[in-house]
Amino acid sequence: MQALSPTDIAALVFFVVAWFGYAGVVESQRYGPLSLNGLMNQYRHEWMDRMLTREVRIIDTQIMASLQNGTAFFASTSLLAVGGSLAVLRSADDVVRLFSDLPLGLATTRAIWETKATGLALIFVYAFFKFAWSYRLFNYAAILLGGTPPVEEAGTEEAKAHARRTGMMTTAAGRHFNRGQRAFFFALGYLGWFISPVVFVLATAGVVLVMGLRQYQGDGRQAIGPRA
């Protein structure tokens, strides 16, 4: 297989470092709680604490079902994306011929194109596993929700511990869902590699910038405001 150019390798390294670096910041103990994701985790636990005091918990089961349905949608979308990536991989000759005819200087080889398409497929496979596991965890959370003690026992230590467990399960499910969505976003940056390494780097940097702003400065983050 033809080796990637040094520029391609440098752009790929930048992509990997940006992905892991961004994930490390958003999920860190220092900066994670200040992000939109971190603040929503606090509300997950508040949700479970207040669920204990409700005699009728139909609204809680409906919320849990909506979270499961959203996760299932992204999991199925990931499979479609994997199929699309594999279709591009199988059509390497046609795609290379098409790119060579474009007046943009996008000529490439079959080997390099297959390498890039394989990487894209792996990103979507990773996203599928994250969404699928998140869906499974939401199922577990629904079971824990169903096993919540009655409202008469809301003040007992057992009930409070059960609410904490359920909150932690929903938080874990949300964390894996966020990682799956993060893979989708970085896949958009990865598409720039099919044009050129420079576009790859710029697209990746743009994805990190946009996601970072939305986590710490976006309208969603501003809507919640500061939390203790």
Q: How many CB atoms lie within 10 A of CB 8?
A: 17
Averaged over 206-224, what is the pLDDT? 93
Residue pLDDT, tens place only, 127-158: 999 999 999 999 999 999 999 999 999 989 99
225 versus 124: which is more confidently predicted? 124
- What HEC string does the chain produce? CCCCCHHHHHHHHHHHHHHHHHHHHHCCCCCHHHCHHHHHHHHHHHHHHHHCCCCCCHHHHHHHHHHHHHHHHHHHHHHHHHHHHHHHHHCHHHHHHHHHHCCCCCCCCHHHHHHHHHHHHHHHHHHHHHHHHHHHHHHHHHHHHHCCCCHHHCCCHHHHHHHHHHHHHHHHHHHHHHHHHHHHHHHHHHHHHHCCHHHHHHHHHHHHHHHHHHHHCCHHHHHHCCCC
Q: Is residue 203 over pLDDT 90?
A: yes
202 versus 55: which is more confidently predicted? 202
- Under the banding of pLDDT at 50, 70 and 90, the label for residue 180 is very high
pTM of the model: 0.90
The pLDDT assigned to 1 comes to 44
Which residue has tokens 């929503």?
Answer: 40
Q: Are 166 and 145 in contact (CB under 8 A)?
A: yes
Share of the chain above pLDDT 70, in %: 90
- Under the banding of pLDDT at 50, 70 and 90, the label for residue 2 is low
| Cα distance from N-terminal residue to C-terminal residue, the chain | 54
Q: Is residue 189 over pLDDT 70?
A: yes
Average pLDDT, rounded, for the chain: 90
Averaged over 189-206, what is the pLDDT? 93
CA distance 155 to 174: 27
Structure tokens, 93: 């000759």
